Chain A
Amino acid sequence: MVENRPWLTAFSHLVVILGVVIVAFPIWMTFVAATHDQETMLHAPVPVMPGPYFFDNIKTVLTSGYNRPGSIPLWTTLFNSMVMALGVALGKIFISIISAFAIVYFRFPLRMTCFWAIFVTLMLPVEVRIVPTYGVVATLGMVDSYSGLIIPLIASATATFLFRQFFLSVPDELAEASRVDGASPLRFFWDILLPMSRTSIAAMFVIQFIYGWNQYLWPLLITTKPDFYTVVMTVSRQASVVDTVPAWNLLMAMALLAMLPPVAVVVIMQRQFVRGLVETEK
């Protein structure tokens, strides 16, 4: 600190604490709602302190969803979300690390064309071209499948740029040395480049896992069978149904489970997360 101003410091603490409280409040209320029975949550004012039904509610939603005929157990949707998030994250990392390798370490005709073709995809989020993309996926017969959920989302420029940026910072001497030693490009990639990229890969994984898990519009369109529903779309869909006697406790337990994995990833891998966030935007 440049100078000592105890009042200003106290004020700063106060502002930040207030911010933290406001930011955490919705999550706290979600948790509280998930710990009461249905009856308690039907009348205002609702409690702001937890009750005893947390595990009952969690168990109910995991095994029978919103607990109505036709609702899907949340287990299924959590599993689907996990498949989708892992598929998107790993798929993106895989295809972009090899294409970045090609762009940086080789000279070939159409190289810049490929580069720009990938670059333009940076600009258009799925939401913009949703109707025609759905048409294409339907034409290819990929509706209601994991490949339909994952593959259209793994083309993204951000990861390619991150790895390109990183490869450009790798000293030329390494590639030169392995060429002199007679190592093939793939061997150089596997033995030298890949181990060096570990931190970038971890950072990328965190960002893309969250991206994949939190997808909403895409799974909403591409799935018609409950077997392929993801958890985020299930929660949102349930929330927009007007119920005569809403089970807030169950809905909030579902919301809690829907945000738990990505929040856990961010909290546990906070360093990689911050790094990934800041680096992908360079």
Chain B
Amino acid sequence: MEKRVTFQERGLPYLLIAPQMAITLIFFFWPSGQAIWQSLLLEDAFGGNTKFVWFDNFTALFADSAYFASVRLTLVFSALVASLGLAVSLLLAVMADRVIRGASVYKAFLVWPYAVAPAVAGVLWGFLFNPSVGVVVWLLSGIGIDFNYVIDGNQALLLIVIASVWNQVSYNFLFFLAGLQSIPRSLIEAAAIDGAGPGKRFWDIIFPLLSPTGFFLLVVNIIYAFFGTFGVVSSLTQGGPAKATEILVWKVYNDGFRGQDLGSSSAQSVILMLAVILLTVVQFRFIERKVHY
């Protein structure tokens, strides 16, 4: 889409777009270029000697079982966060859409978590699940479950999934609710007159019409699980115990800043960049197709 009417000035548009372009070039293209360049270099720990090693950092990564463990973990983690997050928020949105009285009050109560920083969300859930004073741990011990995320890797993973889903639920909920409210009432009414019950109406009409929203949210949630959850991991588990929660974005940070292995960290950055670009392209492909329908 383009404007028919435009202004004729020659210099002015460059002036207007200059700040945005300057910041994009300096803080986006320059570092991204550096990431690619650094991923091809081998640097010793003191930064003294660097040498160009082609794709050695990548081959080293692909030969590293710890990296694949982290990839696998990230996939499991984001599948859990996305599926649980979408399921819970879809349920809440469908139910909130059904009730007329109180719907806006419910909505007001469900949008809060979006405003809580992932790092702070991690602190809150760490308190609830603290091995010595956590109220949930105390309740669980009452029914014979021993929960200690500090030493049990699976429980640590479960905890960061819960905290991440909690943090993301309001976002999903708002989009599902908006999607539900944009479905024409007449469709639902027609189906009801034809004798379709609420369950059938949901699966045959509402669910298919919601699928574009669902797909969009799926991509957003996967990207969130990949990157947005850094704060959760940092506050709660720091990748531990024994790397049980070392998702890729934590590993990039950990290898680069704590391990000072810049080559490997940059190579990981480059791979992550490719992953995000792939996801974004998939999403745009899909949106384009949707527009044609």
Q: Chain A residues in contact with chain B, CB under 8 A? A: 1-3, 5, 8-9, 11-13, 15-17, 19-20, 23-27, 29-30, 33, 41-46, 48, 94-96, 98-99, 101-108, 111, 114, 117-118, 120-125, 127-133, 135-137, 140, 151-152, 154-155, 160, 167-168, 172, 175-176, 179, 185-186, 188, 210, 213-217, 220-221, 232-233, 235-236, 239-240, 248, 251-252, 255, 258-259, 262-263, 265-267, 270, 273-274, 277-278, 281
Q: Which residue of A98, A263, A273 is within 8 Å of B116 (Cβ)? A: A263
Of the four ranges (under 10, 10 to 19, 20 to 34, 35 or more), the interface on chain B belongs to: 35 or more
A-B contact count (CB 8 A): 311
Which residues from 109 to 149 on chain B have a C-beta closer than 8 Å to any C-beta of chain A?
109-128, 132-135, 137-138
Could you tell me if B17 and A121 are in contact, using CB atoms closer than 8 angstroms?
no
- Smallest beta-carbon distance B137→chain A, Å: 8
Could you tell me if B123 and A239 are in contact, using CB atoms closer than 8 angstroms?
yes
Q: Say yes or no: is B198 at the interface (Cβ < 8 Å to chain A).
A: yes
B residues near A16, Cβ cutoff 8 Å: 92, 95-96, 99, 106
Q: Chain B residues in contact with chain A, CB under 8 A? A: 1, 3-7, 9-10, 12-14, 16-17, 19-21, 23-32, 34-35, 38, 88, 91-92, 95-96, 98-100, 102, 106, 108-128, 132-135, 137-138, 166, 169-171, 174-175, 178, 185, 188-189, 192, 198, 216, 220, 223, 227-228, 230-231, 234-235, 238, 249, 252-253, 256-257, 262, 265-266, 269, 272-273, 276-277, 280
Could you tell me if A24 and B112 are in contact, using CB atoms closer than 8 angstroms?
yes
> What would 7 A/B residue contacts be, using CB atoms closer than 8 Å?
A25-B128, A26-B128, A127-B230, A132-B266, A214-B118, A220-B234, A239-B122
* Chain A interface mostly: helix
Chain B residue nearest to A171 (CB atoms) is: B5
Could you tell me if A133 and B122 are in contact, using CB atoms closer than 8 angstroms?
no
Could you tell me if B1 and A281 are in contact, using CB atoms closer than 8 angstroms?
no
* A29 touching B252 in the complex, CB below 8 Å, given contacts A95-B23, A151-B27, A267-B112: no
- Report the Cα distance A2→B19, complex, angstroms: 53
* A132 touching B38 in the complex, CB below 8 Å, given contacts A16-B95, A20-B109, A235-B120: yes
- Smallest beta-carbon distance A274→chain B, Å: 6
- Report the Cα distance A106→B16, complex, angstroms: 10
* A175 touching B5 in the complex, CB below 8 Å, given contacts A19-B92, A101-B16: yes
Counting chain B CB atoms within 10 Å of each CB, the highest count among A25, A128, A277 belongs to A128
* A102 touching B17 in the complex, CB below 8 Å, given contacts A3-B192, A175-B3, A217-B231: yes
